[in-house]
């Protein structure tokens, strides 16, 4: 398919408004009567500098972080060279994330969290009223 100026401008406008490449392909196929493959649209948008590759996300919907990046962050927090921590490359990412999280926690907040009561008991439990087993 030949992309003239009018079709190109409409394609850019539709893409920037949030339509996906498969939607654009189906729409252009219906409008022009000939099949317009998604790869053709991607190629055209790429040549115009408009196309943005779909960003990969983990199954939790987060942007993936490499182990090396975690190790560099931990080294920076510990104020040591990252080469010293190279054995951490064998550790799971979840462990690296936990180490980084613990190192970035504010010591005061961490202490308050540790001192928080495990079970919250209503005030009237101690100062008259009823217990979980009935009045006393």
Q: Indicate the burial class of 70 (C-beta count within 10 angstroms; 0-12, 13-18, 19 or more).
A: buried
Say if CB 3 and CB 44 are below 8 A apart.
yes
pTM of the model: 0.48
Print pLDDT tens along the chain (136 aa). Answer: 788 899 899 999 999 998 999 999 999 888 888 899 999 999 999 999 998 888 888 888 888 889 999 999 999 999 999 899 889 899 998 899 999 998 888 666 666 666 665 555 555 555 555 555 655 5
CA–CA separation, 51 and 57 (whole Å): 18
């Amino acid at each position: 398919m030949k992309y003239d100026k009018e079709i190109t401008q409409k394609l850019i406008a539709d893409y920037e408004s949030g339509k996906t490449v498969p939607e654009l392909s189906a729409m252009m196929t219906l409008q022009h009567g000939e099949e317009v493959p998604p790869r053709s649209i991607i190629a055209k948008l790429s040549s115009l500098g408009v196309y943005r590759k779909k960003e990969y996300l983990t199954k939790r919907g987060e942007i993936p972080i490499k182990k090396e990046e975690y190790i560099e962050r931990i080294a920076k927090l510990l104020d040591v060279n990252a080469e010293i921590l190279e054995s951490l490359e064998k550790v799971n990412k979840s462990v690296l994330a936990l180490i980084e999280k613990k190192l970035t926690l504010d010591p005061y907040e961490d202490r308050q969290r540790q001192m928080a009561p495990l079970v919250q008991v209503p005030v009237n439990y101690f100062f008259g009223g009823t217990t979980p087993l009935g009045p006393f």
